[in-house]
Amino acid sequence: MKNRRPKILCVNCNIHLTTHKRYHLLDSRVCAMISNWVSRQVITDDDVVCKACWELAMEAVNQDLSPNVKIEIEPRQLGHTHVCLLCGCSLLHKQRDKILRDNATELQENMVKVIQLEIQPRQLTPLDRVCHPCWLRTKRKALRTESVVEVNNEPEKDMSIYNESHENLKDPEVPKQNVYNVVLPNYRRAKINTHRCVFANCTSKGKLRSVYDNVRALVLNRHKYYLPKLSRVCDEHLAAHDWDILYDSPNSMDTFSVEQIEHVF
């Protein structure tokens, strides 16, 4: 099987640049203008823009240099406006799907979270659209995530029933089993609590969510922080992406069970 080439997208309008002329942001003035347009995204040496966005940026730069024009913060301009947010294909004459919807179902809310995770640190806007194949692919991902959440919740429900029926009974003495905990000096994890958000001092009264496997992998890879299977996070913190503050949180621990280490691998 041939290896797929990585997608090359315009850092500003997101158009796929396979068949479009592209420019590296070598001109510092153009780079500054594009950086202003994509303020939540860090521009790197590998980023490129399409010809249309390059020309718009050059025009905006030249206007700022004109002595008769008052310098103002330029509003974002896009060389291509009908573009799939995920794959970068043109949406002209194609079936497209709106991402942010009024009265969204729970499945659609989960799909939004999947998309937001893929495009971060960029934030979704009401104007964003995806092509129908990407919409269906995202739907399959969200459905797989829901099935994982349901499976993870089953043991929790069974345990709560057991605790209620046996809370006044004294357990018989049994020989203690050795539980091996490993200290990982460069990694930390959250305490296991199914009734509280993993973020310390969280006051949200909203619904707590199970942590998706793709979110768990992202946080572990970027921030060296492990979120156990039964960890919960509120909607506000899930949308905020403040995962970097968890490592030094008072809820953090540096001891890991063998089961948790095996789960990582």
Burial 3-41, CB ≥16 within 10 A → b, else e: eeeeeebbbbbbbbbeebebbebeeeebbebbbebbeeb
Does residue 178 carry a pLDDT above 70? no
The whole-number average pLDDT for the span 225-251 is 87
233 class by beta-carbon count within 10 Å (0-12 exposed, 13-18 middle, 19+ buried): buried
Helix or strand or coil: residue 225? strand
Determine if the pTM surpasses 0.85. no
| Tens-digit pLDDT profile for residues 193-205 | 888 899 988 888 8
Name the token pair of 163: 């605790």
Dist. CA 62–CA 30, nearest whole Å: 10
The type of residue at 259 is E
| Tens-digit pLDDT profile for residues 138-170 | 999 888 876 655 555 555 545 555 455 545 545
Q: What is the pLDDT of residue 154?
A: 52
Dist. CA 138–CA 97, nearest whole Å: 11
Nearest one of 110, 80, 111 to 14, comparing CA atoms: 80
Q: Give how far the C-alpha of residue 17 lies from the chain's centroid of Cα atoms, to the nearest Å.
A: 24
Dist. CA 53–CA 188, nearest whole Å: 43
DSSP H or E run through 136: helix 132-166
Name the pLDDT band for 181 (thresholds 50, 70, 90): confident
| Tens-digit pLDDT profile for residues 13-64 | 889 888 778 888 878 888 888 888 887 677 888 889 999 999 999 998 888 7
CA angle 69, 61, 70 (to 5 degrees): 20
Q: For residue 153, how many other CB atoms are within 10 A of its CB? A: 13
Does residue 189 carry a pLDDT above 90? yes
